[in-house]
């Protein structure tokens, strides 16, 4: 089965995906090939549609997968069938699932300032401040280079983002002194602003899993419920900008969204929308006299 997996990795690599995305896409194809080898005892090209459906049910029960993850697995199986097996794919045999959509948690301005100001570690404080002040993704923060900080024009260059288009974001005047203090205190990094912690790897960016565990640990120190993630601060950036009157097109540009539809979530998240609307019940006369 190894040759099938290698071919799959080669084909998705041709799409120019990042190493992280390739590993993610390969996860359930590897599980599928293991299933064929240990359970069905079949080659991939001999698998029936019913057996594909059985695998989806099996892996969902085995790993308690969400409907979103099941859809991602089906997408990977489709790619595998088309580009590795060179067989046709019938979407009516393995339909995509509907799933519930939840609004993400957005910390208030008070919660943001409390969280950031109480962080003792300079690196963690600088990384979280970057996500909130400029709306950066954790991957964008990790890949920032020292030369991307343009102090003369007070902006930050984002060379790689999710939709593969570079952009500039504002460099907050309050953030710059913190970044400079971090840079001086933490070894004066030369290439990446946040390099790996091992001295042998200082020319490589820090791992994206470094910060999430520290965010969770700091929530526990503050006695908060564990609701924050790295993306919470990016959502807070977009929401708080919208609440302060910034238009959606500007927010879309700053966040690097490919579609304006992605940006409209901040209409739902903004507290100013619900607080400024009067319920029709409140316009009625005293209900006790009805």
Verify whether residue 78 is a known catalytic residue: no
> What whole-number distance in Å separates Cα of residue 116 and Cα of residue 119?
5
Q: How far is it, in rounded angstroms, from Cα 107 to Cα 235?
A: 9
Q: What are phi and psi of 222, to 5 degrees?
A: -80, -10
Ordered by start, the domain boundaries in the chain are 2-83, 109-272
Residue 214 is among the residues annotated as catalytic for this protein:
no
Q: Is 2-83 assigned to CATH 1.10.150.130?
A: yes
2-83 matches 109-272 in fold: no
Q: Which one from 234, 235, 240, 252 is the annotated catalytic residue?
A: 234
Query: Which residue bears the tokens 């359930």?
Result: 28
User: Which among 123, 137, 235, 240 is annotated as catalytic?
Assistant: 137
The active-site residue, picked from 123, 125, 143, 257, is: 257
Integer-rounded Cα radius of gyration of the chain: 24
266 as an active site residue: the answer is: yes
Marked catalytic residue, from 25, 32, 35, 266:
266
* Helix segments in 19-152, DSSP class H: 19-35, 49-63, 67-83, 109-117, 122-134, 138-142
Answer for the pair 142, 206: CB distance below 8 angstroms, yes or no.
yes
**Contact (CB, 8 A) for 182 and 126:** yes
User: Would residue 240 show up in a list of annotated catalytic residues for this protein?
Assistant: no
- Alpha-carbon gap, residue 241 to 266, rounded angstroms: 9
Residues of the chain with confidence (pLDDT) below 70: 160-163, 273-276, 286-290
Domain 109-272, CATH among 3.40.50.10540, 1.20.1250.20, 1.10.3080.10, 1.10.443.10:
1.10.443.10
* 226 catalytically annotated: no
| Annotation says 234 is catalytic | yes
């Amino acid at each position: 089965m190894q040759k099938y997996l290698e071919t799959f990795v080669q084909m998705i690599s041709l799409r120019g995906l990042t190493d992280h995305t390739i590993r993610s896409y390969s996860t359930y194809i590897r599980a599928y090939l293991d299933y064929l080898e240990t359970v069905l005892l079949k080659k991939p090209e001999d698998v029936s549609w019913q057996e594909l459906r059985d695998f989806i049910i099996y892996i969902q029960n085995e790993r308690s997968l969400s409907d979103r993850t099941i859809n991602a697995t089906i997408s990977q199986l489709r790619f595998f069938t088309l580009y590795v097996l060179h067989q046709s794919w019938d979407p009516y045999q393995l339909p995509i699932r509907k799933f519930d959509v939840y609004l993400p948690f957005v910390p208030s301005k008070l919660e943001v300032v409390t969280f950031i100001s109480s962080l003792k570690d300079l690196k963690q404080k600088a990384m979280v401040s970057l996500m909130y002040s400029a709306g950066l993704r954790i991957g964008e923060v990790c890949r920032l280079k020292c030369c991307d900080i343009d102090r003369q024009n007070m902006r930050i260059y984002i060379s790689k983002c999710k939709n593969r288009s570079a952009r500039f974001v504002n460099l907050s005047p309050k953030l710059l002194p913190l970044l400079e203090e971090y840079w001086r205190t933490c070894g004066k990094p030369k290439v990446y602003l946040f390099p790996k912690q091992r001295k042998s790897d200082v020319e490589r960016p820090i791992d994206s899993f470094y910060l999430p565990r520290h965010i969770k640990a700091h929530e526990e120190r503050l006695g908060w419920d564990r609701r924050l993630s790295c993306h919470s601060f990016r959502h807070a950036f977009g929401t708080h900008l919208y609440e302060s009157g910034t238009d959606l097109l500007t927010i879309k540009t700053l966040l690097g969204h490919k579609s304006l539809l992605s940006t409209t979530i901040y209409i739902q998240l903004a507290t100013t929308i619900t607080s400024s609307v009067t319920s029709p019940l409140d316009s009625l006369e005293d209900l006790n006299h009805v």
